[in-house]
Amino acid sequence: MTEGKTVPRQLFKRPLFVNRSAEVSAFQQWHERAAAENRPLLVVISGGEGMGKTTLATHLAHQIAGHFPDGQLVYEVHGSAARSGVTADQVAAHWLQQLGVGEGDLPRQPAERIGMFRSRLAGKRMLMLLDDVHLVEQVRPLLADAPRSATIVTSRHRLEGLRIDEFEQLPLTGFDRDAATELLVRIAGPEVADLGAELVDKLRTVCEGLPLALSVAALRLGQPDEDPAEYIERLLHGQSLAALEQDGQRPVERVFDAMFDDLPGDLAHVYTTLSLLPGPDFGVAAAAALLEEDEVGVLRSLRRLAAVHALESLGSKRFRYHNLVREHAIGKAPDGRDSLRRQAIYWYWQRAVALDKTVSRRPPPDPVRDWYDQIPAAYDGEGAAARAWAEFAVEWPNLLAAARAAVESRDGDIGARFPIPLWFFGYQTGRHLALLDAFGTAFPLAGDDAELHWQLHRDLGALHEQLGDLDSAAGHAEQALRIAEEREHVLGVQSGTDWLAIICEARGELANATAWRQRSWETVAHLPAELRERAYAVLSMHIARVQLRLEDFDSAETAALRAIGYFDGTEEIANLARARETLGLTHRARERFAEAESLLTQVFGQYRELGMNAKAADIADSLAELADRRGAADEAEAFRRQAQRLREPDGH
């Protein structure tokens, strides 16, 4: 460096900085490797609005500034501003002036300005920070043959094109609990820690770890006239963006507005419309249905929105809104929101019916028979049921959200019926509590529809049985049977008596269970011919289980084999697994240990694949006992660990 020349020191002041230890560590490694290999340090920090990109970039720049004695240059590109038009030659002109070039000495042609800047940079140890870049073209022309330089870029966009120039990528996500707590304490004071982990978690959840939102909330929490608990509740249950106010301004909403203003018209329409979908995330099919566009084009739009962090890509062509971003998008949604919401609810309703038809193979429930007759199964052919099970698991939170939205819209036609196609999957996979809520909210919309009341009572009885609330289960099952008898509904009587048998079995009243099941068996003869074979198979599956408990192993085996013979030729893989389980346990009781272990191993895999974790855990315990019997202690312990993990809470 020549004596007297200008040495720019333009870095922003050191920011309040917490967390980001993984990102800081990665950056430090890249810096050390670049120095060792005599090449420039090139890094892009990307993330959504308010994610702390500039804060991190400034912190990192200060960490390494001492390695760049020829100066530190900063340029705020303002790429988040609508249609930012800053060009690389404008940046070059500004930086040349900071390096001592007079305005009159600047070349007039853009390419010549850029060339002069690269010439001045050659051989220098210079650190450059380009903040809030919009386009690759705002960066690439400025890159010079300066192996001892460093360039840090921040952007809402991923700027994947800079990978060609060997830029390292540093994408940011929201703060976790520890980081959020540290930020709140640093801004609002140590009293925040006294709020407790639950309230801090609520605050982090509503802000989804967004540093800007957490910072604004922390400033509010630090005010002497603000009750922290009440403020957090307002954030959770009110208009969160309005509550994130600072000095009469709404900084979080403002940065979202800037992002929205920068969206082309077609993307703005997608951004606002899809915010009306119920549930925490969505797939391309749901988005395409609401937008009434083809899936290929919609996927392209969703990926463009994810690239600017208006959406988060979850992989497998699924996307979600940040909580605050969704609130912002809903506020910008077009006219006709109620119509669009209804359209979204109906799409999820139809999808629930299509999936249930694929996985349950049961007779169409009477209150929704017309829909089941009109809507095709979700999948057909080999593996159809497995694919439907997998989709059901992925869409479950969205289907529940759609069910709630249907009730809230007071749509009695769908609101009272929405839980019905959810019952089979939810029952089999242990999602009982969520379903109880859905059925409970549906009842007030059922009116005096006896057919619908029968179905709701029957399904609720089954859910209470699974939860061990056998008195409530019996009450609902008896109500369902009474309605069926009054209506002379044969299938209702057959199903109701079978459920009362299941409840008696759960109580240990095996004689009563046998009596109710005998009545159910006799009723099957009066069903339409096309329903009898399946009804006998389901009853055989239940009979086998009771006969096993009564130690009538011959009868148990005969009944289990009859059920297996039917279900093995269908796509009812859950009932097939249940029947095989009973047969496997019968083999174990008869000391046919090898046969039992082989069959139960198969059943264990089926339950795991279907997400029937409670059933899989029980089978794991049985397999552990069988492994112990043949002296395989390590294998037995592995099964016990699996059983323990499967019983851990998983949101069902």
Q: What is the pLDDT of residues 355-400, one digit of tens each?
A: 999 999 888 999 999 999 999 999 998 889 999 999 999 999 999 9
Strand-pair category, 318-320 with 312-315: antiparallel
Same fold? 448-527, 533-652: yes
Residue 321 near residue 275 (C-beta atoms within 8 A):
yes
Q: In this structure, which CATH number among 1.20.1050.10, 3.40.50.1100, 1.10.10.10, 1.25.40.10 belongs to the domain 448-527?
A: 1.25.40.10
pLDDT at position 1, please?
Answer: 38
The rounded distance, in Å, linking the Cα atoms of 427 and 431 is 6
Average pLDDT value for residue range 495-501:
96
The gap from C-alpha 80 to its chain's centroid, in whole angstroms, comes to 28
DSSP state of 319: E
Q: What does pLDDT average to over the chain? A: 92
Distances 272 to 212, 287, 331, 638 between C-alpha atoms, Å: 22, 12, 8, 49
Q: At residue 203, does pLDDT exceed 60?
A: yes
DSSP character string of 215-277: HHHHHHHTSTT--HHHHHHHHHHS-HHHHS-BTTB-HHHHHHHHHHHTS-HHHHHHHHHGGGS
154-169 confidence digits (pLDDT tens): 998 889 999 999 999 9
pLDDT at position 140, please?
Answer: 96
Residue 319 backbone phi and psi in degrees, to 5? -140, 160
Helix, strand and coil in the chain, % to nearest 5: 65, 5, 30
Average pLDDT value for residue range 204-230:
87
pLDDT at position 434, please?
Answer: 86
pLDDT at position 478, please?
Answer: 97
pLDDT at position 544, please?
Answer: 97
CATH 1.20.120.550 for domain 533-652 = no
CB neighbour list of residue 313: distance below 8 Å, 6 or more residues apart: 302, 303, 306, 319
pLDDT at position 3, please?
Answer: 40
Rg of the chain (C-alpha set): 32
Most confident option among 202-211, 445-454, 573-582 = 573-582
527-561 confidence digits (pLDDT tens): 999 999 999 999 999 999 999 999 999 999 999 99
DSSP state of 103: G
Task: State the virtual CA torsion across 68, 115, 4, 105 in degrees, nearest 10.
Answer: -150
Q: At residue 507, does pLDDT exceed 90?
A: yes
Query: Which SS3 state, helix, strand or coil, does residue 415 take?
Result: helix
Q: In this structure, which CATH number among 1.10.10.10, 3.30.70.1110, 3.40.50.300, 1.10.340.70 belongs to the domain 263-334?
A: 1.10.10.10
Q: In this structure, which CATH number among 3.30.420.40, 1.10.1660.10, 3.60.21.10, 3.40.50.300 belongs to the domain 21-171?
A: 3.40.50.300
Burial class (CB in 10 A: 0-12, 13-18, 19+), 417: buried
DSSP character string of 261-304: HTS-HHHHHHHHHGGGS-SS-EEHHHHHHHHTS-HHHHHHHHHH
pLDDT at position 412, please?
Answer: 67
pLDDT at position 4, please?
Answer: 45
Give the bridge partners for 107, in sequence order: none
Q: At residue 22, does pLDDT exceed 60?
A: yes
The gap from C-alpha 429 to its chain's centroid, in whole angstroms, comes to 18
Q: What percent of the chain shows pLDDT beyond 90?
A: 75
Query: Which SS3 state, helix, strand or coil, does residue 45 take?
Result: strand
Domain boundaries, the chain: 21-171, 177-254, 263-334, 335-445, 448-527, 533-652
Q: At residue 526, does pLDDT exceed 60?
A: yes
Give me the residue label for tokens 């009066």: 526
User: pLDDT tier at 84 (50, 70, 90 boundaries)?
Assistant: low
Closest by CA to 583, choosing from 554, 610, 625, is 554
| pTM given for the model | 0.85
End-to-end C-alpha distance for the chain, whole angstroms:
66
642-651 confidence digits (pLDDT tens): 999 999 876 4
CB neighbour list of residue 588: distance below 8 Å, 6 or more residues apart: 596, 600, 622, 626
Residue 422 near residue 400 (C-beta atoms within 8 A):
yes
The rounded distance, in Å, linking the Cα atoms of 186 and 172 is 21
Q: Lowest-pLDDT range, 49-53, 232-236, 312-316?
A: 232-236
User: pLDDT tier at 6 (50, 70, 90 boundaries)?
Assistant: confident
pLDDT at position 459, please?
Answer: 95
Distances 327 to 231, 235, 238, 242, 342 between C-alpha atoms, Å: 18, 12, 11, 10, 18
pLDDT at position 53, please?
Answer: 95
pLDDT at position 2, please?
Answer: 39
- Residue 102, Cβ neighbours under 10 Å: how many? 8
